[in-house]
Amino acid sequence: RKEVEQDPGPFNVPEGATVAFNCTYSNSASQSFFWYRQDCRKEPKLLMSVYSSGNEDGRFTAQLNRASQYISLLIRDSKLSDSATYLCVVGVGGRRALTFGSGTRLQVQP
């Protein structure tokens, strides 16, 4: 079983739609959680951290469920510019490296 699992997609949605991505992680000792965004032929970049109480940044909302070891990302009012791959990332702490999921591809269509 992979440490971080995501639905690879692609998710094809029209502009203005709301779309949700899910991610599960296997290590119950995980301490930190992030969503990274990767545009085609570019490097991954931090989209947002995920906090225990859930957090929002404009049209983006992230949720964490520690009991179920589940993280979600909700994008409201999708824009064409949201088209990218979204990577779920989990950190255990100590000297361990972050673990990246394989990503979920989103294509927003006009």
Partner 1 sequence: DAGVIQSPRHEVTEMGQEVTLRCKPISGHDYLFWYRQTMMRGLELLIYFNNNVPIDDSGMPEDRFSAKMPNASFSTLKIQPSEPRDSAVYFCASRIAGPYNEQFFGPGTRLTVL
Helix (H) or strand (E) segment spanning residue 33: strand 32-38
CB environment 4-20: b (16+ within 10 A), e (fewer): bebeeeebebeeeeebe
**Pairwise CA distance, residues 6 & 86, whole Å:** 9
Nearer residue to partner 1 within complex by CB, 58 or 93 = 93
Q: Which range touches partner 1 (CB under 8 A), out of 19-27, 54-62, 72-80, 94-102? A: 94-102
Using the contact rule CB under 8 A, the part of the chain among 11-19, 42-50, 59-67, 69-77 near partner 1 is 42-50
Is 92 a residue that touches partner 1 (CB under 8 A)? yes
Q: Which residues bind partner 1 (CB under 8 A)?
A: 31-32, 34, 42-46, 49, 87, 89, 91-98, 100, 102-103
